[in-house]
Chain A
Amino acid sequence: MDTQEKARIQTAFQEKMDYDELMNCTRCGFCLPSCPTYVETGRNEVHSPRGRIALMKGLVDGVIEPSEEVKESIDLCLGCRACEPVCPSGVNFGRLLEQARDAIYQSKKPTLPEKVMKGIFLKNIFPQQNRMIGLTGLLSFYQRSGAQKLAQATGVMKLFPETMRTMEKVLPDVPKRSAMKRRPHHLQPLHRNRTKKVAFFSGCLMDTIFMETNDATMKLLQYAGCEIVLPKTQACCGALHGHSGEMDHAREMAKRNIAAFEEAEVDYIITNAGGCGAFLVEYAHLLKDDPQWHERAERFCAKIKDITRVLVELEFHKQPLSLPEQVVTYQDSCHLKNGQKTFMEPRQLLEAISGVQYVEMKDASRCCGSAGIYNIVQSEMSMQILDYKMEQARNTNAKTIVTTNPGCLLQMKLGIEREGLSKEMNAVHIVDFLLEAYERANNKEVTNQQVAASQV
């Protein structure tokens, strides 16, 4: 790091950090045991929430200057925000982290993998759903055409880092390009009177690679009596941008989404990805300095609800639900739990399924190491965290690990593959699991015609 760069970063810290929030930390240390990187580094204070806040404050105060080690501390943070619910002083660590990353990355050259990931994905693909579809379409072609088998057979994949290699194996079979282009925009309740009018935040990844999970989400909402609107102009939530210090891009996405959902006039805006939801509820904070948008953002945030929350509210779990006998465990989505305080509802839903023996795994709420693009840019730490997670999952003897976020889902699949457990264990998104349980218990596999008929 050269002198000029150091000076740039230091100034950026002084400009961007919320000093009152930094002062809020009393350094009591209550956050330490909740922090996965503090635990995994064998209690290194540098890699703890208290340490990171001290570093941020140290940079602002000029007690230390920016260095590779300081940057590493900020980089190695998962952003899981497990430190927030245990903080008696109520420090908003997630926000401080975003400000710090913003300060570092607007003035620092990223490493090559970061640059590639951010350049391609954050700026060009996630914000544009048609490009998302295009990219996923390529992936679909890769999987269907035999190219995947060829690549795996020839060993071309060995050229990629281990995480990416395994990730390639566990990606779901993605939908065809034509299917992704043909998405519904308005749906009526199925078999029930209307209970709520909701909008569905379909997300960028969820509506392409995980399209089936999105379909399942909508069906569940329909069964729960919801009328569903899907605004055409909605876009990526901007979380991946925000978490990697691309705040301006994140704000742009926020405004597009607020405008898109305002017109819908709904009771709730439903998400099925913990990561997106936690970022959506931060829009008001993100736009707090923008008088034109702040109030609109607050109204938007108040409507955000995770699918599990709305299902419990509409008493979906009191209907018959059943699956073949099995042990099931749940991996919390950090951002669903710490960002949206939703952790009872998924468990309540799972426990309501007859045939399911729910076994809580140890440290279920500890991050799985997926954390956005963390498992690619901080692969070593991510895998260390994942190994611990899989050990806990195995101890439950679960056949199924249920998650509530696409990143966690892929990471769990990755863990299962890495441990060679793919024959005895499976990872699913909670909505896919619930839909199967509902349709099995109620004997009604809804045909596509029926769904089509429900479209307005």
Chain B
Amino acid sequence: MLNRDVREKLIAIVGENNVEDNNASLLAYSYDSTPRYQTLPDAMVAPRNKHEVSAVVKVCNEHQIPIVPRGSGTNLCAGTTPSEGGIVLIFKHMREILEIDEENLTMTVQAGVYTKDILDRAQAVGLFYPPDPGSMHISQIGGNISENSGGLRGLKYGVTRDYVLGLEIVLPNGEIIQTGGKLAKDVAGYDLTRLYVGAEGTLGVITEAILKLVPQPETKQTMLALYHDLGAAAESVSAIIANRIIPATLEFLDQATVQVVEDYAKIGLPTEAKAVLLIEQDGPPEVVARDMEKIASLCKDNQAFDVQVAQTDEEAEQLTAARRTALSALSRLKPTTILEDATVPRSKIAAMVKAIGEIAAKYELTICTFGHAGDGNLHPTCLTDARNEQEMELVEKAFAEIFEKAVELGGTITGEHGVGMMKLPYLHLKAGEHGVEAMRRIKQALDPHGIMNPGKMFDPLTKQSKEMEK
């Protein structure tokens, strides 16, 4: 519980209605989309503008109260679970699209704007904001930036990071800074914009962003390629890219995933296929037509038994929308779904898919796999029951092996979901002890009291200092 003095100070800043600490509110902000993580915060605080954010941060810094900035709580790494109490910072009052600059092709937005609204507004003026995480119709841009979210278009267009030109940040000491700008080039000092994208709220609070927009592609086409064999699908992915074609989307779904998605979406997905590739290309009509033809023949060369092209925009939209629901739809099968996002160089997709299958068999677990095959980002998803402690132990062991395998193949423990609490124990696998230490020092320098989203990303203390404490 917040002490009375702090509570009064916060109310003085944001108003009585914007500090909630009744038990219903505390519970409603105790979780995000990650299963098995839940801790009650001490209060929910909803500042109305950046100055209020700054004032709130100052109070928390003075009293050493943890702050967890939270968008819609759709992340999958326990990145916004208030594991050490404190306040959950909400952006429901900060949801304005401030400007679309059609001369510089930028959009300036507050942290609480829904990702989908950014895309819609851009498209209304013939522009395009490509990052499209699965939860884009409800996720907020502040959260996307903090997690450096990816999505289905990562292969061709990159991820959130590639569309953030500048940020307004409230530092842990309460100072407000602006980084970057509406600039294609800017080398004035450290690139703080890049530092804060993907910092998971551990270095400060993002209040505003300048986003890069690109011209809206003229057309797009969507196709499904069906396989009797997982490996053949993975080989097709490598073949497409090796043939110098970069599709906008190249998604991979295994049979179990296709079946549950079809069960929910009922759009006639081919549930008889062992593996399905969902491929989308966009651009000028002649290029799209040429690429799609080439892709179709490459898929067939690699043992696709059928290739189906969506006949209408609606049909295409249904397919991608259905793919977005894959994770949640999988949860119909078992009480708990634990999802990871081990990522490998795309040439290693086939090897990784094979390894996941072997690891699942070794621990006798049901692991479904879908993901952004084109960019090497897979989502092995374990269907289990959190109440079965024995099985949960096996799940953890299996995932540890999957992470090790990914790193061994030149990959990473997480491609787009973030580290949060969930992958904190594995960060060293990818970053190395010295790498983690470098991050720790950056954190220490910017947030000496450790108030910003504590308990996420890495342990604040080094092995050495832990030993000294003992």
Interface residues, chain A, with chain B CB atoms under 8 Å away: 20, 23-24, 26-30, 32-33, 42-46, 48, 51, 54-55, 58, 63-65, 67, 69-70, 72-73, 87-90
Contacts and interface: CB of A to CB of B under 8 A. Distances in A.
Nearest to A31: B138
A73 B22 CA distance: 12
A29 B138 contact: yes
B74 A67 contact: no
A119 B24 CA distance: 29
B73 interface: yes
Contact of B27 (A33, A43, A58, A89): A58
Nearest to A26: B331
Contact of A24 (B23, B38, B335): B335
Interface in B1-59: 20, 22-33, 35, 38, 40
Contacts of B38: 63
Interface stretch (B321-329, B352-360, B370-378, B428-436): B321-329
A148 to B, nearest CB: 41
Contact of A27 (B32, B114, B386): B32
A88 B31 contact: no
B65 to A, nearest CB: 20
Contacts of A46: 20, 24-25, 28
A352 B74 CA distance: 43
Contacts of B93: 42
Given A27-B31, A27-B33, A89-B331, A69 B25 contact: yes
Given A23-B336, A43-B92, A30 B135 contact: yes
A29 B33 CA distance: 7
Given A55-B27, A87-B328, 5 more contacts: A30-B135, A33-B114, A46-B28, A63-B30, A64-B26
Interface in B407-423: none
A385 B438 CA distance: 52
Interface string B178-213: 000000000000000000000000000000000000
Contact of A28 (B29, B92, B328): B328
A32 B27 contact: no
Contacts of A51: 24, 27-28
Nearest to A42: B92
Contacts of B139: 29
B329 A73 contact: no
B73 A45 contact: yes
Given A54-B31, A69-B23, A88 B331 contact: yes
B24 A26 contact: no
Interface of B: 20, 22-33, 35, 38, 40, 72-74, 90, 92-93, 114, 135, 137-139, 264, 325, 327-329, 331-332, 335-337, 386
Instruction: Say whether chain B's binding surface is mostly helix, strand, loop, or mixed.
Output: loop
Contacts of A26: 33, 35, 327-328, 331, 337
A32 B138 contact: yes
Contact of A55 (B24, B33, B337, B386): B24
A69 B27 CA distance: 11
A46 B40 CA distance: 14
A133 B241 CA distance: 74
A45 B328 contact: no
A73 B28 CA distance: 11
A88 B138 CA distance: 14
Contacts of B23: 64-65, 67, 69-70
A87 B329 CA distance: 8
Nearest to B70: A45
A73 B264 contact: no
A51 B23 CA distance: 12
Contact of A54 (B30, B72, B90): B30
B347 to A, nearest CB: 32
Nearest to A51: B28
Nearest to A85: B264
Nearest to A32: B138
Q: Quick one: which of A24, A30, A45, A72 has the most chain B CB within 10 A?
A: A45
Contacts of A54: 27-28, 30-31
Q: Quick one: which of A23, A26, A33, A48 has the most chain B CB within 10 A?
A: A26
B22 A69 contact: yes
Q: Quick one: which of B27, B30, B32, B138 has the most chain A CB within 10 A?
A: B27
A187 B34 CA distance: 58
Contacts of B27: 51, 54-55, 58, 63-64
A70 B28 CA distance: 10
A27 B135 CA distance: 12
B327 A28 contact: yes
Contacts of A63: 27, 30, 38, 40
A80 to B, nearest CB: 18
Given A29-B74, A45-B28, A89 B92 contact: no
B129 to A, nearest CB: 18
A29 B35 CA distance: 13
A88 B328 contact: yes
Nearest to B71: A29
Contacts of A88: 264, 325, 327-329, 331-332
Contacts of A48: 28
**Interface pairs A-B: 4 shortest CB-CB:** A88-B328, A69-B24, A88-B325, A45-B28
Contacts of A72: 24
Contacts of A89: 328-329, 331-332
A421 to B, nearest CB: 30
A48 B74 CA distance: 14
Contact of B29 (A45, A69, A70, A73): A45
B32 to A, nearest CB: 7
Contacts of A29: 33, 72-74, 135, 138-139
Contacts of B30: 54, 63
Contacts of B20: 46
A24 B331 CA distance: 7
A46 B25 CA distance: 6
Given A64-B24, A89-B328, A90-B264, A28 B335 contact: no
Nearest to B116: A33
A33 B138 CA distance: 7
Contacts of A30: 135, 137-138, 325, 328
17 contacts: A23-B386, A24-B332, A29-B138, A32-B72, A33-B137, A44-B28, A45-B25, A45-B73, A46-B25, A51-B28, A63-B40, A69-B25, A73-B24, A89-B328, A89-B331, A90-B264, A90-B332
A27 B25 contact: no
A90 B24 CA distance: 24
Given A23-B335, A26-B337, A43-B92, A70 B24 contact: yes
A44 B24 CA distance: 11
A151 B319 CA distance: 59
Contacts of A87: 328
A32 B40 CA distance: 21
A108 to B, nearest CB: 15
A48 B24 CA distance: 12
